[in-house]
A and B are shown apart, each in its own frame.
Chain A
Amino acid sequence: RKEVEQDPGPFNVPEGATVAFNCTYSNSASQSFFWYRQDCRKEPKLLMSVYSSGNEDGRFTAQLNRASQYISLLIRDSKLSDSATYLCVVTLNQAGTALIFGKGTTLSVSS
């Protein structure tokens, strides 16, 4: 089941660039949304939750469009340390229990 779709990339950008990732999900019953980050050969870790009104955390901005079932992540002023795979995540059902992950978008920031 392809419940969460992401462009796999890779996105290759220079330091300081702004980059945007998009994600679509198929289950309209999904209630909670997240972006996770996964470094090479490491476990996924929460980057930020995504709220209906949109939210910002430093250089990172997340947006949610429930009508279009679309989630985005914007990274401003990219750093070398932002190089990683970014995973779009939605909850499985209205109960908001299990997390379903997209396959991820790979970002490589170069100097």
Chain B
Amino acid sequence: DAGVIQSPRHEVTEMGQEVTLRCKPISGHDYLFWYRQTMMRGLELLIYFNNNVPIDDSGMPEDRFSAKMPNASFSTLKIQPSEPRDSAVYFCASRLGGAGNTEAFFGQGTRLTVV
């Protein structure tokens, strides 16, 4: 398996533009997570899905952020409109099963810069 795949790896956009980040989880994993990492706040959980259904989106900072998972092999995180304070590394992770000590596997991240 190729692991969790995220695209793009880097994104530079102007304030006010729409940004869409993409994630392909590991095949067979039923949990998918979106995290944001900054120096100040560390790794923050934004939202997670179980079997394509959003379970907890309490970490989504504002209504400008939205996430979807139309099928088991694809998820998007959208920011509209983007702002400079959204600049961060966004990670997608997937995991098999809900309980126990199962490992979460991370993608390589999307480094977003909003200017």
Interface residues of A (CB under 8 A from B): 31-32, 34, 42-46, 49, 51, 87, 92, 95-104
Contact = CB atoms under 8 A, between A and B. Distances in A.
Interface in B90-109: 91, 93, 95, 98-101, 103-104, 106-109
Contacts of A99: 33, 45, 93, 95, 104
Mostly, the A contact residues are loop
B103 A43 contact: no
Given A92-B56, A99-B33, A103-B42, A46 B91 contact: no
Contacts of B91: 43-44
Contacts, number: 56
B19 interface: no
Contacts of A46: 103-104
Given A46-B104, A98-B33, A31 B99 contact: yes
Interface of B: 31, 33, 35, 41-43, 45, 48, 50, 55-56, 91, 93, 95, 98-101, 103-104, 106-109
Contacts of A92: 45, 56
B90 to A, nearest CB: 11
Given A46-B103, A49-B101, A101 B43 contact: yes
Given A34-B101, A95-B99, A42 B108 contact: yes
A104 B42 contact: yes
7 contacts: A43-B106, A44-B91, A97-B55, A97-B99, A98-B45, A99-B33, A99-B95
